[in-house]
Structure 1
Amino acid sequence: MKKIKILVVEDERIVADDIRMSLERLGYAVPAVSVSGEDAINKAEKTRSDLVLMDIILQGKMDGIEAASIIKSRFDVPVVYLTAYADDKTVDRAKITEPFGYILKPFEDRDLQTTIEMALHKHKMRILLEESEERYRGVVENAHDAIYIKTKGDFLYVNPAFEKLTGWKKEELCSKELNFWKTIHPEDLKFVKKMDEERKKR
């Protein structure tokens, strides 16, 4: 069975070795250890790791939060922070990068493993959800039937078939200035409102 690859980003060599040994005891592979944010970005690309364990205070001009943001945007690799810092300012900055976990040093192997497994699972589920949404979007966009989503009279979405049927463009329909009922022909308004009320009762 292929081992999960975890890139360790830690500027203190003794601590980095301790983290690496913990990960290897837990059955993970550590393809590389980085001491700076710049090197972490390069190693993330070269090793194609499944997850990055990121310290926040690093060598060089770039800290772990900035490096995590770049790694996430370029390679879509889940990042878990492993740090001794938990002050509000640091945590608030870290939140912006949408990490998959935040572990405080010192740590227990069990906590490390649980956080890693949860992060990998969440990342996998997010990818599956995005793929599912993309498939659904393709079906809806290419449907011959008119499909729309609205709330309280405002359009949130309409597909091309709805545009063709009504003659209204998506941008016009989904603008806050255009109410759903204004798109209905006056002669059809009573019937459509009745159908809408019946739909709400289902």
Structure 2
Amino acid sequence: MEQKTRVLIVEDDMIIASNISLQLTKIGYEVTGIETRGEEAVIHSRLNKPDVILMDINLKGRLDGIETVRKIKAVSEIPVIYITANNDEATFEEAKKTQPFAFVDKPITMRELTRSLALAAEQLKKREDTEEDEEEYVALLNDRIFIRHQGQMVKLMLKDILYVEADRNYCNLITEKKNYVLATTLKDMQLKLPDTLFVRVHRSFVVNISKLDVLGEGHVEIKRKVIPLSRSYRDELLKHLQTI
């Protein structure tokens, strides 16, 4: 069975958001959720990553839609379709800097929205097929690791890796300066990293324990990134921390 395209709806008008969700579900999309604030959308996109995000530009709260997209794309390159009732040129130019897939004007017509989503899903599939065709290469050498990223061999110092996050059959390797999407599972990636430094703390996260800033009861923090800590991994983490 073909996997459904997963869509996150970020819209502070719940009537509009619920209608979009209902219509998309009817025609075969999987809606991962509806968020009304940018802060919640950032968290949602990291814990339950969608394939495409529908983003209202004029969100209420601390983060507007454009700033929310910037924060999301700092970690994951997820295609974004902006929904907007604001047609001024300055807003459009600022939104363009985040490299969205499309803009859909309000009032929304489902025909325009579903066409944009279908095109975004097609581009996403092509990108995934390209990544699958390119065998991922990961090699460890003393204090550094070499990975094949976008057709090039990249050297990363182990000390610069903050954490690795699972994304289905891929994983995101996060450093202070850049993020890398690798066509390998988190389990396989963990096996390639030294277990004296990199420890599993959750089914979706492996962390560099030398980078931990906070160890809480149910979470850890690295550079203000809150990472869940599962009870089943907590004892193993504490044991490793005692050895460094």
With the length of structure 1 as denominator, give the TM-score of the two structures.
0.62
Partner of 1:145: none
**What are the superposed Cα offsets for residues 41-100 of structure 1, whole Å, 9 maximum, x if unpaired?**
011112211110000111211000011112122121111101211210110011000001
Structure 1 alignment gaps of length 5 or more: 139-202
1:136 is displaced (CA, Å) by: 5.0
- Judge conservation of contact 1:72–1:79 (CA < 8 Å) in 2: no
Q: Which residue of 2 aligns with 1:49?
A: 50
Determine if contact 2:5/2:121 at 8 Å carries over to the other structure.
no
Which residues of structure 2 form unaligned runs of 5+? 135-147, 154-244
- Give the paired residue count: 138
- Whichever structure has more strand as a proportion of its residues is 2
**Once superposed, which parts of structure 1, at least 4 consecutive aligned residues long, lie more than 2 Å away?**
120-138
Is the Cα contact below 8 Å between 1:79 and 1:101 reproduced in 2?
yes
Alpha carbon RMSD of aligned pairs, Å?
2.2
Residue number in structure 1 paired with 2:180: none
* Conservation of the 8 A alpha-carbon contact between 2:7 and 2:54: yes
- Aligned mates of 2:151, 2:11 — CA distance in 1: 41
Q: Secondary structure at the match of 2:59?
A: coil
Query: What residue in structure 2 maps to residue 10 of structure 1?
Result: 11
Deviations 1:90-146 (A, max 9, x none): 1001100000111111222221111011122224445666786957545xxxxxxxx
Amino acid of the structure 2 residue aligned with 1:22 = Q
Greater fraction helix: 1
Question: 2:171 maps to what in 1?
Answer: none
Greater Rg, structure 1 or structure 2? 1
Mapping 1:110-149, distance limit 5 Å: 110-126=111-127, 134=149, 137=152
- Greater relative contact order (CA < 8 Å, ≥ 6 in sequence): 1
1:55-134 matches, cutoff 5 A? 55-126=56-127, 134=149
Distance 1:136 1:92, change over 3 A: closer
Contact 1:55–1:82 (8 Å) recurs in 2: yes
